[in-house]
Amino acid sequence: MNDFFALLPLFSIAAFGLLLLVVEAFAKERLDWEILTGSIFGVALFAAIGALFAPVDASGVSESITRYLSVDRGAFLSDALIALGGLITALAAGPYFKEHGLERVEAYFLLLFSALGGMVFARAEDLVTLFIGLEMMSLGVYALVALRRTSARAVEGAVKYFLLGSFGGAILLFGSALLYGSAGTTSLVGIREALDASDVVESLFVLGTVMLLGGLAIKVAAAPFHTWAPDAYQGAMIPVTGFMSAVVKTAAFAALVRVLAVLYVGTSLMEPSTGLPLLLGGLALLSMLVGNLGALRQENIKRLLAYSGVAHAGYLLLGVAAIFANPEANAAAVYYYLFTYAAGSALVIASLISFGSRGREAVDVGDLAGLGRRHPWLAFPMAVGMFSMLGFPPTGGFFGKLLVFRGAAEAGGIFAFLALAAILLSVVSAFYYLRVVVSLYYREPEEGQLEAIPMGSDASLSLAIGLGTLLVILLGIYPAPLVELASLAARGLLG
Amino acid sequence: MSASFSLLFSFAAVLALASGLGTIAARRPLRAAMFLLVHLGSLALLYLTLSAQFLAAIQVLVYAGAILVLFVFVIMMIGPGYDRPTSFRALFPKTLSTVLILSLALSMAAILGRVDLPMSELPEGFGGVKAIGLALYRVATVPFELIAMVLTVAVLGVLGIARKKTAIELSREAAPQGGEE
Amino acid sequence: MDIEISSYIVLGALLFGIGAIGFLVRRNFLIQLMSVELMLNSVNLLLVGFNRAHASSHDGQVFTFVVIAIAAAEAALGLALAIAYYRFKNSAETDLGDLLRH
């Protein structure tokens, strides 16, 4: 494998994206932006999947790349994950922008380049690229949230997101600086080597670790660092909300898994009772509680998704915490979960887009009343998405939760207790997910309430919804191939 | 390490602390920006004492020269503006967070103060333009290229937030009301 | 009196604390932005200081270079947001925003 193939998913987004930027400058009429952007994501997705099946061998890649960006199956799997989330959101974004008269060409480029940032973030093998990827991704998303600048709500959400995001970035950076100081190199592998040789300054290392993980916790919106999420999710346009959960959150988790795998797995810091797993487990429990209880009283589906995103961050952190017990299986479980989460939330968002029409979005639970009867074809994917977020068989979410919770239960001790809490809280989550489904199928609009009028059919939106539904169901009834890929990726990651 | 060096350090450190406090305590953003300018300058001095000549220059050029000018520009654009005096209700959480962060920072400083890292022998030309240039272009090529992408994202983002109406929005407004669909 | 790296690190930690306090206590968006700049600068000081201790490579100074470039990008975006925010509120105070609170 040479330099070109090692970075092909990233190259294809960067090169085609920049090319499209030039084309845009000369375009006289509206191009089919959603199709063009979607195809770029599609190319990246194919490149990543192709690389997953090819023999991955980093030996032919020049050192100036492998020093900064990892080249292994875990890297390609995270590329595929991000490209998939980007693909569905980009396809759904175009129809939304057109329908509501919000078309801004910048949006597509910001989607492309912040997904690129996510890929860099998830692949980072060095503290420098970790920070660059984080900022590339975040800056794009802040701008995406603020893009609807005629809406006070959007700008306000963006301001809150920006402030907390840059605060989190600064904390992560401070932790990185301490880690660098402890070992004298910014390379994660180098720091790990120094750690194994007991050649690190212990106090700097521990303090740096805590702050680095704290910064990442802000990014994945784990409680108690989640306060920005509901406002930012609600303020953003619907496709951007989808991007934030399908791409930003998953990229941040992929990066977290990589940092843990490279720096800590197998060291004394990963001892279950004393070190990081306990810290992560605590964050997981808090996030599950705050997310699920917070979601119970939300009427707005975007806010509901924000809180449910906090809850999912909790489940995922539980899986991440359990990595100490059985690194390969549990990292693979987290990867699988990320795929089901990305597909599920992208599907929910695409369906939500299809429910709204010109100038009127249907974003409250009550708005959906009666849609199941009037538009069964549109309501069904939404219901599938909700069942997947809930983790109900036979959807992908079920297997994601099964794998992660089983891994945590097998880790034993406190983690078995946490897995039990996660199951109980998942039952609680049924209340708010099923409330949406009930509203779709068993409610009629109340007297005087406006009915949601779905937008006219649109090829690329149908494609997005179809793709999402197919994936969610496929991951639920035929999980073996992705489980296989995920464990290969985990092996490469830990290799 | 000569005495003049430690004098320079003490001077710059005190200046950095004082101007940092000034930045966060100033009522008016413009005054805060001026304190920030002093702060950035004192950090450039500190970089010099750490033999990072190139970064000291960059600090003055980019931070003081570009970023701060941007700040001042925006402050002038949206008017000076005062903070309202803190309401009684907000006083408690503010004091609490100040005390909390302060104690965290102090205890962190106490831990870090005990770290024993000796100054190492400097290779020839350490921190100079040539050495940094080589490090950037020979070793850190990938991050360097990626910075270009980050700047692209920032430009696109600023464009998206600040740009006036798009051609599509204008043409839609020009079209007679209800003319579409 | 000899200066050691630890003096720089302690100074960096204190400056980071000052920035964090400013960020949490002030409610003026522009000053919060400047507080973030203070935090980023304190990290730069740490990085340059640590590089003085590990002088065999320029990792720390290269990282500082990266941080300065990204801080510029972040400040530009933040200021654009400040202008957009000001259009609605005629003020840069972030706690006036309660539209999103339920």
Q: Whole-structure pTM over 0.80, yes or no? A: yes
| Per-residue confidence (pLDDT) for residue B175, from 0 to 100 | 58
Chain B interface mutation, best of C77, C83, C95, highest count of B Cβ atoms under 10 Å? C77
List the beta strands (DSSP E) in B80-167: none
Q: A25: how many CB neighbours lie within 10 A of its CB?
A: 7
pLDDT band per the 50, 70, 90 thresholds, residue A150: confident
Taking the C-alpha atoms of residue B23 and residue B44, their distance in angstroms, rounded to an integer, is 17
CA distance A468 to A474: 10
What is the distance between the alpha carbons of residues A148 and A330, in angstroms, rounded to a whole number?
Answer: 40
Handedness of CA A173, B142, A137, A25 (dihedral sign): positive
Name the DSSP letter for residue A269: G
Counting residues of chain A whose pLDDT is more than 90, the rounded percentage is 72
Provide CATH 1.20.120.1200 ranges for chain B: 1-83+124-139
Which of A207-221, A238-252, B82-96 shows the lowest mean pLDDT across its residues? B82-96
Model confidence at B82, pLDDT cuts 50, 70, 90, reads low
Q: Which two tokens stand for residue A212?
A: 């680095």
Q: How many CB atoms lie within 10 A of CB A266?
A: 13
Number of domains making up chain A: 1
Residue A9 contacts by C-beta under 8 Å, 6 or more apart in sequence? Answer: A44, A45, A47, A48, A51, A76, A79, A80, A83, A119
Write down the H helix ranges in C1-102.
5-25, 29-53, 59-89
What residues contact A288, with CB distance under 8 A and at least 6 apart?
A: A311, A314, A315, A318, A421, A422, A425
Placement of tokens 């900064």 in the chain: A68
Question: For residue B122, how many C-alpha atoms fall within 13 Å in the half-sphere facing its CB?
Answer: 14
Residue A373 has pLDDT above 70, yes or no: yes
Q: Which of A236, B165, B157 shows the shortest CA–CA distance to C77? A: B157
Q: What is the CATH number of domain C5-91?
A: 1.10.287.3510
Q: For residue B83, what pLDDT is reported?
A: 58
CA atoms of C15 and A282, how far apart (whole Å)? 30
Selected residue of C2, C14, C42, C50 to mutate for chain B interface (largest B Cβ count, 10 A):
C14
The three-point CA angle B78-B84-B86 to 5° equals 145
pLDDT of residue A79: 96
Structure token pair of residue B103: 């104690």
Q: How far apart are CA A18 and CA B151, in angstroms?
A: 13
Phi (first) and psi of residue A199, to 5 degrees: -110, 30
pLDDT band, very low/low/confident/very high, at B166 (cuts 50, 70, 90): low
For range B163-173, the mean pLDDT: 62
> Is C15's CB within 8 Å of B136's CB?
no
Nearest CA in chain A to B136: A64
> Closest-CA residue in chain C for B122?
C55
Helix axes A249-259, A127-146, angle to 10 degrees: 170
Locate A71 and state its tokens.
């080249």
Closest by Cβ to A131, choosing from C66, C94, C97 = C66
Average pLDDT of span B131-142: 92
Entry field: residues in chain A: 495
**Per-residue pLDDT at A190:** 95
What's the per-residue H, E or C state across A216-241? Answer: HHHHCCCCCCCCHHHHHHHHCCHHHH
Query: Mean pLDDT by 10-residue block, N- to C-terminus, for chain C (102 residues)?
Result: 81 95 89 94 96 92 95 94 84 57 42
pLDDT reading at A117 higher than 50:
yes
- State the CATH class of domain B1-83+124-139: mainly alpha
Q: How confident is the model at residue B133 (pLDDT cuts 50, 70, 90)?
A: very high
Tell me the mean pLDDT in the region A50-79: 90
Contact A168, A177 (CB under 8 A): no
CB atoms within 10 A of CB A3: 15
Contact C54 A185 (CB under 8 A): yes
Q: Please say whether the dihedral angle defined by the alpha carbons of residues A349, A355, A356 and A357, taken in this order, is positive or negative.
A: positive
C-alpha to C-alpha distance for A286 and A310, rounded to whole angstroms: 10
CA B62 to chain centre: 10
pLDDT in tens, A234-254: 999 999 999 999 999 999 999
Q: Does B114 contact chain C (CB < 8 Å)? A: yes
How many CB atoms are closer than 10 A to CB A39? 16
Residue A20 CB-half CA count within 13 A: 27
Q: What radius of gyration, in Å, describes the C-alpha atoms of chain B? A: 24
The mean pLDDT value of chain B amounts to 85
pLDDT winner (highest mean) among A159-173, A360-374, A448-462, B67-81: A159-173
Q: pLDDT band for B171, please (50, 70, 90 cuts).
A: low
Cα–Cα dist A334/A254, whole Å: 9
Write the pLDDT tens digit of every residue in A6-44. Answer: 999 999 999 999 999 999 888 877 788 999 999 999 999
What does residue A69 show for φ and ψ, rounded to 5 degrees? -125, 130
Segment 40-99 of chain C within 8 Å of chain A by CB: 40, 42-43, 46-47, 49-50, 53-54, 56-57, 59-60, 62-63, 66-67, 70, 73-74, 77-78, 80-81, 84-85, 87-88, 94, 97, 99
Q: Which two tokens stand for residue B45?
A: 């001095």
In the structure, what pLDDT confidence band is assigned to residue B85 with cuts at 50, 70 and 90? low
- The contact set of B with A (CB < 8 A) is 108, 111-112, 114-115, 117, 138-143, 146-147, 149-150, 152-154, 156-161, 163, 166, 168-169, 172, 181
CB contact under 8 A, A170 and C57: no
- Through-space distance between the first and last CA atoms of chain B, rounded to whole angstroms: 79
DSSP A101-154: T---HHHHHHHHHHHHHHHHHHHB-BHHHHHHHHHHHHHHHHHHHHT-TT-HHH
Radius of gyration of chain C (CA): 17
Cis peptide before A394 (omega within 30 of 0): yes
Which one of B112, B157, B172 has the shortest CB-CB distance to A110? B157
pLDDT value at residue B179 = 35
Quick check: A3 contacting C, CB < 8 Å?
Answer: no
Instruction: Tell me the pLDDT tens digit for each residue of A313-355.
Output: 999 999 999 998 889 999 999 999 999 999 999 999 999 999 9
pLDDT at B131: 93
ipTM of predicted complex: 0.93
Please check the confidence at residue A185 and state whether its pLDDT lies above 50: yes
Most confident range (mean pLDDT) of A24-28, B101-105, B142-146 is B142-146
pLDDT digits (tens, 9 = 90+) for A81-112: 999 999 999 999 999 998 888 888 899 999 99
Tell me the torsion sign for CA atoms A321, A327, A328, A329: negative
The Cα A487–Cα A479 span in angstroms is: 12
Q: How confident is the model at residue B165 (pLDDT cuts 50, 70, 90)?
A: low
Helix (H, G, I), strand (E, B), or coil: what is residue B1? coil
Least confident of A184-193, A361-370, C32-41: A361-370
Half-sphere exposure of A202 (CA within 13 A, CB side): 3
Determine the average pLDDT of the residues in A204-216: 93
Q: Are A239 and A96 in contact, with CB atoms under 8 Å apart?
A: yes
Average pLDDT for residues A411-418, to the nearest whole number?
90
DSSP sequence for B19-85: HHHHHHH-SSHHHHHHHHHHHHHHHHHHHHHTT-HHHHHHIIIIIIIIIHHHHHHHHHHT----PPP
Contact B154/C50, CB-based, under 8 Å? no
Give, in order, the Cα–Cα distances in Å from A160 to each of A110, A163, C71, C86. Answer: 19, 5, 18, 14
Q: Poorest-confidence range of A482-491, B9-18, C22-31, C83-92? A: C83-92
Q: Report helix, strand or coil for A187.
A: strand
